[in-house]
A and B are shown apart, each in its own frame.
Chain A
């Protein structure tokens, strides 16, 4: 079974990479881009029977740093 974890910086945490992308888009002539936030997606291939709680534990222990990042889990 598959699980997908989306990880984003929390609101209020400066995202210099997102800002750099926003500036680059502006330089290319794309107008009206008011903000860019960059995150990551992690796809997991798991044994059958794994639960969302298992993936949440993985997020808490390793995949996300909850000081600065929030995450969401999709199973299946």
Chain B
């Protein structure tokens, strides 16, 4: 598996994400936001957490219009895999690769804590290492993680089994307790919680490991 991790000014989880990919045997290339092309043999693009461009205008909005994001969109449209975590999820909604938007947390507070997530579907390369219904502990760290989409979009996500993870105890006001969603072809995942921060015993939790292991397993044989 060859993973590219995009680095924006203000990204701060890029190296954590790279380490999580490397830990499951992936080759990782860091890609700068001003690069206009991805390495040719990339299987998956990781959009990391952080505060790209200082969250100016709207979270992820300026990053979504950077040169590399055109290539990320092309990669996704060709059927490539993309994982966006936290700010990466915000970037993916701003590019239109995923529906909806992440609003300010309903309580207006930045929340940094480990939360219980319910795995809603195992029908994706990201979640096939879990069973639907599993509850896993993954950290969140965000100010703008309150998922919003209109009711028709929420219903569509539910009907198409595209909600990947939901909160057991909704911390931020997200509609339908949504913590992470899949694209229509199930190859793009955006999620607010940080699986790369629960991928090593030294992190204090390893519930995120199964996501990276499943990816490595699926994309090696792809």
Chain A residues in contact with chain B, CB under 8 A?
13-14, 16-17, 20, 61-63, 65, 67-68
Q: Are A17 and B61 in contact (CB under 8 A)?
A: no
Asked if B130 lies at the interface with its beta carbon under 8 angstroms from chain A, I say no
Q: Report whether B173 and A14 are in contact in the complex, using a CB–CB cutoff of 8 Å.
A: yes
Q: What are 5 residue pairs bridging A and B, where the CB atoms are less than 8 Å apart in the complex?
A: A16-B104, A16-B108, A62-B62, A65-B101, A67-B99
Q: Give the docked Cα–Cα distance between A67 and B154 (Å).
A: 13
Which single member of B57, B103, B106 contacts A62 (CB below 8 Å)? Answer: B57
B residues less than 8 Å from A61 (CB atoms)? 65
Distance, CA A17 to CA B58, complexed state (A): 14
Binding site for A on B (CB under 8 A): 57-58, 61-62, 65, 93-94, 99-101, 103-108, 146, 148-150, 173
Cα–Cα distance between A20 and B105 once the two chains are bound (Å): 12
Cα(A14)–Cα(B175), bound, Å: 11
Do A62 and B65 contact each other (CB < 8 Å), given the known contacts A13-B103, A13-B148, A67-B101?
yes
User: Known contacts being A65-B101, A67-B101, A67-B149, is A16 close to B61, with CB within 8 Å?
Assistant: no
State the majority secondary structure of interface residues on A.
helix
Q: A13-B103, A13-B148, A62-B65 are in contact. List 7 more A-B contacts (CB 8 A).
A: A16-B103, A16-B104, A16-B106, A16-B107, A16-B108, A67-B149, A67-B150
Distance in angstroms between the alpha carbons of A62 and B57 in the assembled complex: 9
Cβ contacts under 8 Å, A17 to chain B: 104, 108
Complex Cα–Cα for A17 and B57 (A): 15
Distance to closest chain B CB from A75 (angstroms)? 21
Q: B108: which of A20, A62, A63, A68 is its contact (CB, 8 Å)?
A: A20
Partner of B57 from the list A20, A63, A67, A68 (CB cut-off 8 Å) is: A63
Q: Is the Cβ of B107 less than 8 Å from the Cβ of A67?
A: no
Q: Which residue of B lies closest to A13 (CB)?
A: B148
For residue B58, which residues in chain A have a CB less than 8 angstroms away from its CB? 65
The answer for the CA separation of A16 and B62 in the assembled complex, in Å, is 23
Of the candidates B103, B105, B106, B107, the one whose C-beta lies within 8 Å of that of A68 is B103
Contact of B100 among A20, A62, A67 (CB under 8 A): A67
Chain B residue at minimal CB-CB distance from A66: B101
Beta-carbon contact of A62 and B104 below 8 Å: no
- A16 CA to B110 CA, complexed, in Å: 13
Residues of A within 8 A of B148 (CB): 13-14, 67-68
Complex formed: what's the CA distance from A65 to B103 in Å? 11
- Minimum-distance CB pairs A-B, first 9: A67-B101, A68-B101, A16-B108, A16-B104, A16-B106, A20-B108, A65-B101, A65-B58, A62-B65
Cβ–Cβ contact A62 & B105, under 8 A: no
